[in-house]
Amino acid sequence: MLFKLKVGKVKLANSFDADAEFSHLKMLELRPGEGDVGKESEASIPDQVNHFKKLYSLQQVDLFADLQFEWSSFQAKEENLIDFGADSSRKLNEMIACCVGSPAMNFVSCPILVRVRNQREIEQVRIHQPFTVEYEVTN
């Protein structure tokens, strides 16, 4: 069975009315230019800064956004002599049994210790005389 998976829609968890926000900001921008010259705008500079900050936050993608997926499965269909082109094997949004492979594991996380087993025997040795070092490796 073949199946494909694609992202259909992205729905932000924090729903907002973007058009309303943009229209409000647009209104703030138009106010200084309209009407009497020299008359101060009703929207103060801190308000405008706050609105721009809000606009910037709205443009960020929420990490906890709800993703809606759409998938379709294709089953191996039997060969027919007469094929009218209808794709009857395709089924939309049906339950698909699948499995996910386990992540790679290794034993590196288990520390490996090394110590010299005959430490006392090799603390002092004689020149030109062989000696043996025994390294003990433990899991």
- Residues in contact with another protein by CB under 8 A are 106-108, 110, 112, 114, 116-117, 119, 122-139
Q: Smallest distance from the beta carbon of 117 to another protein, in angstroms?
A: 7
> CB neighbours of 8 closer than 8 A, spacing ≥ 6?
68, 69, 70
What is the spatial distance between Cα 41 and Cα 105, in angstroms, rounded to a whole number? 64
CB neighbours of residue 89 within 10 Å: 13
Q: What type of residue sits at position 80?
A: N
Q: Smallest distance from the beta carbon of 118 to another protein, in angstroms?
A: 9
Nearer to another protein, 102 or 124 (CB): 124
Nearer to another protein, 59 or 132 (CB): 132
Residue among 16, 13, 6, 7 nearest 65 (CA)? 13
Nearer to another protein, 49 or 122 (CB): 122
Nearer to another protein, 50 or 119 (CB): 119
Q: Smallest distance from the beta carbon of 129 to another protein, in angstroms?
A: 7
